[in-house]
Amino acid sequence: MNSAIIVAAGKGTRMGADVDKLFLQVAGRPVVAHTWQRYEDAKCIDEIILVVREGKQTAFQELAVRFNFRKPHRLVAGGVERQVSVWNGLAAISSHAQIIAIQDAARPCTSETLIQATVQAAGETGAAVAAQPVSDTIKESADGQTILRTVDRARLWSVQTPQTFRVEIIRRALEAVRRRGLTVTDDTAACELIGQPVRLVRGDAPNPKVTVPADIPYIAALLAGLAANTGNQR
Ligand code: CTP
Ligand code: MG
């Protein structure tokens, strides 16, 4: 069976102190309810673990009732760093789980096609990540004010979620991170540490993350379009 871990235990500091970005109402429902719906609908996913902040459990239970989420799900507490939240999620997956898709709760437009493609690639190679080739010209700056040089864009990819793994691989990778006392910004960096190749899975639709207030109008428009296509807006 395949499990999903939706990490939803961040503080959303870049969005601003007085808003909880995961509960911002966008295109008819909270951001995280869009993300949860994607995994509810994904036929390749059998159970969902939601990693949430202390005190938020009730709000998530209410979402399950309000949006009629029926797929088996469990709520677990997050940690200070994203990698601790992922670790706590891994401790809660079914003992029958073979493939784990790790998803940012703040990334509500992820398509079922992309989830399925990373699950398939992880089954073949052990690890896979949703990614896009970088399209802007990239410059390096030493002081944040002037350009030092142009970086060769042809080799650069920006990675997103889902980040999807065979369970024994992500456990071994995150154990290595913990043993060495490192902090990694994503789960594929943990794989790099143990020499595990990670397949890049290029998405064919935008898959942005809600990070700063300026992201909202674009993501709201994308979600409104997706809801019109699938009829899942309630
Ligand atoms: N996340 C988490 N536990 C943490 C940190 C982050 O579960 N300790 C989750 C967030 O809830 C989010 C995802 O990881 O769904 C991606 O993180 P990011 O976009 O950076 O969200 P935040 O960490 O909440 O935002 P910020 O960095 O602005 O504080
Ligand atoms: Mg963060």
Q: Could you read off the pLDDT tens digit of each residue along the chain, which spans 234 residues?
A: 999 999 999 999 999 988 999 999 999 999 999 999 999 999 999 999 999 999 999 999 999 999 999 999 999 999 999 999 999 999 999 999 999 999 999 999 999 999 999 999 999 999 999 999 999 999 999 999 999 999 999 999 999 999 999 999 999 999 999 999 999 989 999 999 999 999 999 998 999 999 999 999 999 999 999 878 775 544
Q: What is the pTM of this model?
A: 0.96
Strands, DSSP E only, in 90-166? 99-104, 127-133, 138-140, 149-151, 157-166
Domains of the chain: which residue ranges? 2-227
214 Cα to the center of ligand 1, angstroms: 17
- Atom in ligand 1 nearest the alpha carbon of residue 107: 15
181: left (phi over 0), alpha (psi -120 to 50) or beta: left
Best mutation site among 24, 38, 51, 82 for ligand 1, i.e. most ligand atoms within 8 A of its Cβ? 82
- Return the ligand number nearest the Cα of 17: 1
CA-to-CA distance for 159 and 74, rounded, in angstroms? Answer: 27
pLDDT of amino acid 10: 96
Q: Residue 79 corresponds to which amino acid? A: G
- How many other CB atoms sit within 10 Å of the CB of residue 233? 14
Whether 165 and 189 have beta carbons less than 8 Å apart is answered as no
105 within ligand 1 shell (Cβ under 6 A): yes
208 within ligand 1 shell (Cβ under 6 A): no
CATH of domain 2-227: 3.90.550.10
What angle is formed at CA 106 by the lines to CA 1 and CA 12, rounded to 5 degrees?
A: 130
**Helices 31-41 and 57-66: crossing angle, nearest 10°?**
60
